[in-house]
Chains A and B, each alone.
Chain A
Amino acid sequence: MRASGTASGYLSAAPLALLFTVAYLVPVGILVIVSLSASTSGFDFTLAHYVEALTNGFNLGILSDTLVLGLQVSFATMLAAYPIGLLFMRCGPRGRAIIVFLILLPMLTNTVVRTFAWMIILGREGVINISLLSIGWIEEPMRMLYTRTGLIVALVQIFLPLMALPINASLARINDNLVKAAEGLGASRFYIFRTVILPLSLPGAIAGFLLTFAGSSTAFVSQTLVGGGRQIFMPLLIYQQAIGVQKWNAAAALSIVFAIAILAIVFTMNRYSRKYLRGMDA
């Protein structure tokens, strides 16, 4: 019985597996082949593009800066998501439904549109500058668009749902009696957060962190439009190489290096956090 159940399980997963193979693994395979070739017409093996990608200090600087951006955005998003999660924890079913709806609401708008909205908000004659100038808080418009801070703020808003939803889910699973017990024993609110709530919600936070990290370090449109042409991150570098100057092979090698760097970070964090969580259970 059980064996046939597994067999039919495999069978019903087959279409998706096939789609995944054809639509994802094959293109990635082609990308690897292109990255190892000296030209786009025919295959002519070379490691030169990888040597260039890994030894060119300028490219490496962009790679590390892109990963740092991803980490900055993920930490900032986590800081923004926890208060929402704590509120969520205290709400009844109705309140929780409203919070989830509000978190999901921005996702109904395309990322490109949200990015343009941020350009209007952050611009020199944008909503923030005009308001602050008119109430006399600032004398000169502040520079926010095309700055790193502006970019991080925009990315935090764009990726907040990916962080808030898993954090909410793990906070909702925490047994309320644990919090009450801690309160009964005289623990302060911050102490309860640090020793009970935070550790128990870590699985959700880690999932959200990884999603936000992978998403924000590769967010081509937002990085380019809000970050501007002077801050160059890996997606724009790859785009310029492939589309701007038609160096497809070099662009493919950069893409592979970038993908591996992100995977390595995601993998390491995942492994490390699992070990930590297991240690906590014991």
Chain B
Amino acid sequence: MQIDRRTMLSILAGSAMAGAFPAMAQSKEVFIATYPGSVDEGFKAVVGPQIRQKFGATSAFSPMLNTDLIGRIQASRNNPPFDVAIWDNGPIITAKQDGLLEKFSEKDSPNYASMPANLRDPDGFGPAMALTSIGIAYNPKKIKTPPTSWNDLWNPEYKGRVGIVGPASTLGTTFLIEVAKLRGGSETNVEPGFAALKELLANVGAIPPNPGALTTALSQGQVDIAPNFFNNVAALKARGADIAFAVPSSGLPLQTVTAAVIKNARNAELAQKVVDLLIDPAVQAQLEAAPWIMMPANPKVALTGFNRDVGATVGEVLKRGIFLDWTKFIASRPGWVERFNREIRV
């Protein structure tokens, strides 16, 4: 193929024009970082149209892990790639410490008043928009007795059938702490947890690299029982997979998913409104329904379907739940990741 100078010039001019248009549309576009999987699909289907309808703005959603997100914002602090993001308990501490977030203007948010005190960021960076809970995921066709405790993973019958993930993820960190607590440890003393994981190795069939891959391993029959997020289990169950969720007798570990505005957001005012929209009962109710099955944070929203496996109301879920204090152990976590790499191997 021959490209003469004129064609080349018109290609260059065309791409320059294309580059110019988003700049013109910038004032009316909001970029939101979501989580991979059903959360992202739900945001695209529910939140996107609402933003267009209520604020006349377009929106773009990017699913990614919080840890990736921190890296991307740090790489371009003055011109962050996102205006709004949702955060897990651990990474939001890092984001706050690094000054990546903007304070939430509570007085401009009509929906903020309905949020319980423990679902508001203690430093004023925004409300929790969803709850994620962690429990035991299992294949009911293979695991005939429904598990009731984390200790069930150590059942010799499940040799080679158990899946776990390392503490580089929220799931792995929570699992490690909960197991440590069962054996006399705590959020700050995970020594018994590591000892227990070493014993568990006899049963472990796979240590996938992250929670998403662990969910895939469960759905493909690579493992039959594993700690997992309720949301992942519910999404698979909604698609007809052989999977069930058991609440451990030691309590239901809960995380908040906090919606926060990113510092230096291109359109801070719109971003603040989007955070308010995310806790709006009508939006929350749509995200609560199948196929997204998000556990809403706003207590005004009624629970339906699979979410009722965890509790009858948001209030009841909050009452059953255990919140870990991430500020206590966030500094020890890198050490745990290294230790897991080193000790929990073949």
Measuring CB to CB, which residues of chain A are less than 8 angstroms from any residue of chain B?
A: 40, 58, 119-120, 123-126, 143, 145-146, 224-225, 228-232, 236-237, 240, 242-247
A246 touches B67 (CB 8 A): yes
Q: How far is the CB of B30 from chain A (nearest CB, A)?
A: 25
> B206, A145: Cβ atoms under 8 Å?
yes
B341 on the A face (CB < 8 A): yes
Stretch binding the partner chain, chosen from B109-117, B128-136, B207-215: B207-215
Interface pair B341/A246, CB less than 8 Å apart: no
The CA of A1 and the CA of B41, in the complex, are separated in Å by 64
Say whether B71 contacts A229, CB under 8 Å.
Answer: no
How many residue pairs link A and B with beta carbons under 8 A? The number is 71
Q: A123-B222, A124-B220 are in contact. Are A244 and B337 (CB under 8 A)?
A: yes
Q: For the complex, what is the distance from the CA of A146 to the CA of B206, rounded to whole Å? A: 7
Closest Cβ neighbor of B167 among chain A residues: A244
CB of A142 to closest CB in B, whole Å? 12
B207 touches A243 (CB 8 A): no
B123 interface residue per 8 A CB criterion? no
18 contacts between A and B (CB under 8 A): A58-B341, A58-B342, A119-B220, A123-B220, A125-B220, A125-B221, A126-B220, A143-B160, A145-B206, A224-B209, A228-B208, A228-B209, A229-B165, A229-B209, A230-B207, A230-B345, A242-B71, A243-B71
Contacts of B208 in A (CB 8 A): 146, 228-229
Contact A225 B209 (CB under 8 A): yes
Most chain B CB within 10 A, of A224, A225, A228, A237, is at A228
Given the interface contacts A58-B342, A124-B221, A125-B222, does A228 sit within 8 Å of B168 by beta carbon?
Answer: no
Report the Cα distance A145→B338, complex, angstroms.
24
Query: Which residues does chain B contribute within 8 Å of A225, judged by CB atoms?
Result: 209, 213
Residues of A within 8 A of B65 (CB): 243
Q: Decide: B221 and A240 in contact? CB cutoff 8 A.
A: no
**Closest 6 A-B residue pairs measured CB to CB?**
A245-B334, A125-B221, A244-B168, A229-B207, A229-B209, A230-B207
Known: A123-B222, A245-B168; 9 extra A-B contacts, CB below 8 A, are A58-B342, A119-B220, A146-B222, A229-B210, A240-B337, A243-B68, A244-B337, A246-B70, A247-B334
Complex contact B70–A240 (CB within 8 A):
no
Which of A120, A224, A245 touches B337 (beta carbons < 8 Å)? A245
Q: With A145-B222, A240-B168, A243-B68 as given contacts, are A119 and B341 in contact (CB-CB < 8 Å)? A: no
Contact with A along B60-88 (1 / 0, CB 8 A): 00000101101100100000000000000
Nearest opposing residue in chain A for B341, CB measure: A232
Contacts of B68 in A (CB 8 A): 243
User: Which residue of chain B has its CB nearest to the CB of A140?
Assistant: B160
> Using an 8 Å CB-CB cutoff, how does the interface string of B321-346 with A read, 1 for contact, 0 for none?
00000000000011001100110111
Q: Does B189 count as interface, using CB distance less than 8 angstroms?
A: no
CB contact list, B121-175 vs A, under 8 A: 160, 165-166, 168
A246 and B341 alpha carbons, distance in the complex (Å): 16
Q: Report the Cα distance A232→B74, complex, angstroms.
A: 26
Chain A: minimal CB distance from B120 (Å): 25
Residue in A120, A230, A240 whose Cβ sees the most chain B Cβ within 10 Å: A230
Closest to A125 in B: B221
- Closest beta carbon of chain B to A266's beta carbon, Å: 27
Within 8 Å CB of A231, what residues of B?
346
Min CB gap A232→B, angstroms: 6
Q: Does B304 contact A (CB under 8 A)?
A: no
Partner of B346, one of A124, A145, A230, A240: A230
Chain A: CB-nearest residue to B166: A229
The chain B residue sitting closest to A147, CB to CB, is B346
B26 within 8 A of A: no
From residue A89, how far is it (CB to closest CB) to chain B in Å? 31
* B342 / chain A contacts, CB cutoff of 8 Å: 58
Collect the chain A residues with CB atoms within 8 Å of residue B71's CB. Answer: 242-243
Q: Output the least CB separation between A119 and chain B (Å).
A: 7
Contact residues in B for A58 (Cβ distance below 8 Å): 338, 341-342
| Min distance, Cβ A128 to any Cβ of chain B, angstroms | 13
Residues of B within 8 A of A228 (CB): 206-209
CB distance from A12 to the nearest CB of B (A): 14
Binary flags per residue of B39-50, CB closer than 8 Å to A gives 1, else 0 = 000000000000
Nearest A residue to B71, CB-CB: A243
- Tell me the complex Cα distance, A237–B166, Å: 13
Instruction: Give A125 to B203 CA distance when docked, in angstroms.
Output: 18
A49 → chain B closest CB, angstroms: 14
Contact with A along B188-231 (1 / 0, CB 8 A): 00000000000000000111111001001000111000000000
Is the beta-carbon distance between B216 and A119 smaller than 8 angstroms? yes
CB neighbours (8 Å) of B220 from chain A are 119-120, 123-126
A247 and B334 alpha carbons, distance in the complex (Å): 8
> In the assembled complex, which residues on chain A have CB atoms less than 8 Å from the CB atom of B186?
none
Q: How far is the CA of A119 from the CA of B338 in the complex (A)?
A: 26
**A124–B223 Cα gap in the complex (Å)?**
8
Q: Which residues on the B side are within 8 Å of A145 (C-beta)?
A: 206, 222
B313 contacts partner chain A, Cβ-Cβ < 8 Å = no
Residues of A within 8 Å of B210, CB to CB, are 229
Min C-beta distance of B204 to chain A, whole Å: 8
Q: Which residues of A contact B346 (CB under 8 A)?
A: 230-231
CB B202 to nearest CB in A, in angstroms, measures 14
What's the Cα separation between A123 and B221 when bound, in Å? 8
